Structure 1
Amino acid sequence: MTGSSVLFDAPGPRARVRNRVISAVTVIVVVAVAWLVYTRLEAKGQLTAAKWEPFLTGNLWRTYILPGIEGTLTAAAVSIALALVLGFVLGVGRLSRNIVLRWVSSVIVEFFRAVPVLIMMIFAYFLYANYDVFPSKHLALAGVITGLTLYNGAVIAEIVRAGVHALPKGQAEAASALGLTSGQTMRSILLPQAVTSMLPVLISQVVVVLKDTALGYQITFVELVRQGTNVGSSYGNYIPALIVIALLMISLNFALSWLATKLEARMRRSRKGPAPMEAEPLEFQGDRSRGV
């Protein structure tokens, strides 16, 4: 058996040496650029201890950081839940045998996939404001949730459609042979299997939703990135503030990815069938009359 990979052939001795040289040069360049940036910021006094001291006080966290985290998580959680529901509805609609339902679902999906998320947020914000749909203190949150839900729901609909189409055709044929309707086949056979295969893509889309909440800055939504810039303007420490906000966003994304990965592993284990029973060895019984 050769050492070839699925995506590319295993590198030979010369390729391994070349890869090591390229990796070493890349590391040196990255370290040099990082050192240059650090020295420039240090020379301008952006990384002094006084710039970091406000983050050691509880007042800054209560006034800026914690409300930003709350806004980000609230918008992301509601948007993820609504986008999953909308995505599965539209995805199943695109797979429907009803041509009208399939056509309407396709138009909705393609439209909201083509419109930028920020435009949908701004449009929803002013639409709700003009018609007093939500109280003024919740307008920005409603606009962010609407934009994220519509865009990511359309993306999830395509994920659902691709996941169902990736299943073997024999699944639907076997269900039809058993007398199941198309709706029963979709609910009981196709979707449960497709969800497991779609989980990695869905997890990545959930992380995208969390990061896209930062776009709510444009409609005065109180989220983490906006609060970071407010900290920088209030304390004159933009660079430390953005570094702290970046670390917090990375931590939130890693935590969300970790939880989603655990959920994926649990779902995959729960969908596995019971372990096959080991067959007991059969004893050979010969013809006793012949003494065998």
Structure 2
Amino acid sequence: MNLDFSFLDASVLQSFVLKGLIFSVQLTLVAMVGGIVLGTVLALMRLSGKPWLAIPAAAYVNTLRSIPLVMVILWFFLLIPLMVGKPMGAELSAMITFTVFEAAYFSEIMRAGIQSVPKGQVNAGQAVGMTYGQTMQFIVLPQAFRNMLPVLMTQTIILFQDTSLVYAIGAYDLLKGLTTAGKIYGRPEEAYLLAAVVYFVICFGLSYVVKKLQNKIAIIR
């Protein structure tokens, strides 16, 4: 196949690969934290029993879960600058888009986690004088996070894989860095092959951690 990886010296790895990998990791962490926070709020809205909270939250979740991510990325990148009247960088646009989009998925995970907590514990919290917010904060949410932690990490792995889609708007992620290096040195096949290997190693390693964590949580239960 005449594959040649000799162009991947230290300078190339630092200038192209490391730069893209750092942004991919940053995007994953920002979207994960923001998505979990916003997703938890959406889950609480849907479980509040109040239609004026539950209906908008359900519409938000169902709409975003029904639209391809790449389309949402293009919407935010192209339409928001027209609305605010000034351009928005690809990196900032990607962070906002991923946070908003992933919140819909994290919301469903958190909703399942909250519902997995026995109602008797909620009733016990209310019996000792706790408000709805205090019951959620001190009793329900800690258990929900623990129960759903493996699923949250699995969704984060999927999120890391999806960061390659920011290539569509020119954001400099891991795939973009390797692709640029491949074009400059005339080795696009090697660059794409290396990108697949890097994504596989990272995601497989994280999947192994999730499996170990899942077994540990099962023992605690």
Asked if TM exceeds 0.5, the reply is yes
Q: Which has the higher contact order (CA 8 A, sep 6+)?
A: 2
Q: Say whether the 8 Å CA contact 2:31–2:99 is kept in structure 1.
A: yes
Q: Say whether the 8 Å CA contact 1:217–1:225 is kept in structure 2.
A: yes
Give me the whole-angstrom Cα distance separating, in 1, the residues matched to 2:81 and 2:119. 49
Tell me, yes or no, if structure 1 residue 104 matches structure 2 residue 56. yes
Give me the whole-angstrom Cα distance separating, in 1, the residues matched to 2:19 and 2:146. 35
Number of residue pairs the alignment of both structures matches = 219
2:72 maps to what in 1? Answer: 120
Encode CA deviations 1:210-242: one digit per residue, 9 max, x unaligned.
111100000001111122222222222222212
Give me the whole-angstrom Cα distance separating, in 2, the residues matched to 1:83 and 1:197. 18
Structure 1 regions of 5+ residues with no counterpart?
1-41, 273-292
State the Cα distance separating 1:262 from its structure 2 match: 7.7
1:133/1:92 CA distance change after superposition, 3 Å: farther
Q: Percent identity between the aligned chains?
A: 30
State the Cα distance separating 1:257 from its structure 2 match: 4.7
1:52 maps to what in 2? Answer: 5
Give me the whole-angstrom Cα distance separating, in 2, the residues matched to 1:73 and 1:146. 15
1:233 maps to what in 2? Answer: 183
Given candidates 111, 114, 124, the residue that maps to 1:174 is 124
TM-score if structure 1 supplies the norm length?
0.67
State the Cα distance separating 1:64 from its structure 2 match: 1.6
Identify the structure with the greater helix proportion: 2
Given candidates 159, 164, 172, the residue that maps to 2:109 is 159
Given candidates 68, 72, 84, the residue that maps to 2:24 is 72
Larger Rg, first or second structure (1 or 2) = 1
Q: Say whether the 8 Å CA contact 2:154–2:210 is kept in structure 1.
A: no
- SS of aligned partner of 1:73: helix
TM-score if structure 2 supplies the norm length?
0.87
1:192 maps to what in 2? Answer: 142
Residue pairs, 1:1-292, within 5 angstroms: 42=1, 45=2, 47=3, 51-55=4-8, 57-130=9-82, 131=84, 139-257=89-207
Q: Say whether the 8 Å CA contact 1:196–1:264 is kept in structure 2.
A: no
Structure 2 regions of 5+ residues with no counterpart?
none
1:183/1:119 CA distance change after superposition, 3 Å: same
- SS of aligned partner of 1:53: coil
1:133/1:179 CA distance change after superposition, 3 Å: farther
